[in-house]
Structure 1
Amino acid sequence: MGTGGACGPRRALGRGAGPVLLAAALVTGCGEPHTPNGTSAARQSTPPGSGAASSPAATPPEDLCARIVAHWSREVLDDGTYGDYQSMGLSNGQYDILRNVVDAARITKAREGRKAAERLIDRETRTGCEAWYRDGGPGEGPWT
């Protein structure tokens, strides 16, 4: 008789079962059980403030500033040319820090070598960014 495939009622059930099961899952809400307030029961099992499900602490803005300005300062020191501050993701204030740092790093690199210039970049970007944020940091636009 046939070639070995499903036949008769089993074949019909196989084709029709997918949409029926999908509809049943949507209607019954398969997935995580929820509490009356709508939150996931699995999420409620971790007490608030326990740290198990909390997000990492935010990085202070002066740290982010120092990282990005130091990165681009090294790029400019290697490349020798300044790019557009917006293409670097910098504000005008951060770009001012970068220009001052790179100018000093170029002199240090010529006198003392690359390693000394990199130490200067790390130190001066940290100092510049801390001062910038101490004085208020960026304003409303990318040019501040």
Structure 2
Amino acid sequence: MGRRGDPRPGVRFLLLGLTLPALLLTQACARPGHTEHPHTASPSPSPTPAADLCTHLIAHWSRKVLDGTTYGDYQSMGLSTGQFEILRDVVDAARVVKRRQGEPAADELIGRQARQACTERYRYGTPTGGSWQ
């Protein structure tokens, strides 16, 4: 404990710990040409369009189903009923292509059909009705 009237050493350290960053921030913002505001949030990225998200999910899970490395139902995959219908159609077509032309051709077909079906599904916005729409 210090002399009478002096704050305790811990309090001085706390005051210095709180004051020093504030002074440094003030000095940094006072530089000429400094236009950034410390409390201004950077813009958040724009949301992924529904058709792009659908395409990514359908292509990912279609490849997993085709390889036999997935389990569960459409809900565990994060798909709606409509998206799962697209997945089933894509996987059925990809199985035929994989058997006849090989895995690279099936992979290409998955990407193409997922994009086409998802673009059609979300052409007029988010579909309504059904499980998870």
Q: Percent identity?
A: 49
Cα 1:25–1:138 change in 2 (3 A) is farther
Unaligned runs of 5+ in 1: 1-7, 34-40, 48-52
- The RMSD of aligned alpha carbons is 3.4
Pick one of 43, 58, 62 that aligns with 2:51: 62
How many residue pairs match? The answer is 118
Pick one of 71, 91, 99 that aligns with 2:88: 99
| Bigger relative contact order, structure 1 or 2 (CA pairs below 8 A, ≥6 apart) | 2
Q: Which amino acid aligns with 1:60?
A: P
Q: State TM-score, norm by structure 2.
A: 0.69
Give the superposition deviation at 1:81.
6.6
Give the superposition deviation at 1:91.
1.3
Cα 1:104–1:46 change in 2 (3 A) is same
What is the 5 A alignment of 1:119-130? 119-130=108-119
What is the 5 A alignment of 1:1-144? 16-22=8-14, 31=22, 32=25, 45-46=35-36, 53-79=42-68, 83-139=72-128, 142-144=131-133
Give the superposition deviation at 1:68.
1.1
Give the superposition deviation at 1:99.
0.7
Write the deviation string for residues 77-111 of structure 1: whole angstroms up to 9, x where unpaired. Answer: 00077631111111111111111100110111111
